[in-house]
Structure 1
Amino acid sequence: MIGFCALSSIFGLAACKSNSAIYKAPSVKAARASHLLAPPGMVYIPSGTILFKGSLDSSNVGKNVSVSAFFMDETEVTNKQYREFINWVADSIAVTDYLHDEQFFLDQVGENGQKRINWSKVKKHSPLWKSSDPGIQERLAPMLEMKRNKRALNPNLIRYNFSYLKAGLGTKKKDVSENVSVIPAEDMWTKDFPNAQLAFLDANYFTHSSFDYYPVVGVTWRQARAFTDWRGKEMAATILKGSYLSGYQLSLSLPTEAQWQYAASGKLDPRDTITGARMTIDGKEGKKKLAVNFKQGEGTYSQDGATFTMPVKSYMPNSFGIYNMAGNVSEWTLDAYSPSAPMFVNDLNPALLYDANPQDGDFLRRKVVRGGSWKDNGEQLNDDTRNYSVDYEPHSYIGFRCVMSAFELPTDQSKTRK
Structure 2
Amino acid sequence: MALLALGINHKTAPVSVRERVAFTPEQLTDALAHAREHARLKEIAILSTCNRTELYCSTELAGTRDLLEWLGAFHNLDPDTLQNCSYAYWNEDAARHMMRVASGLDSLVLGEPQILGQLKSSYSLSQEHGYISAELGRLFQQTFSVAKQVRTDTAIGQNPVSVAYAAVSLSQHIFADLSTSRALLIGAGETIELVARHLCQAGVKEITVANRTLSRALNLAEEFSGKAILLGDIPEALPEADIVIASTASQLPILGKGAVEAALKKRKHRPIFMVDIAVPRDIEEQVAELDDVYLYTVDDLTEVIEENQRSREDAAREAEILVESGTHDFMGQLRALEAVDTLTALRTRTESLRDQELEKALRQLRNGKPAEDVLNQLARGLTNKVLHQPTIQLRRASAEGRSEMLGLVQELFDLGDDTNNEKNS
Normalised by the length of structure 1, the TM-score is 0.21
Q: Which has the higher contact order (CA 8 A, sep 6+)?
A: 1
Answer with 1 or 2: which has the greater Rg: 2
Structure number having the greater strand percentage: 1
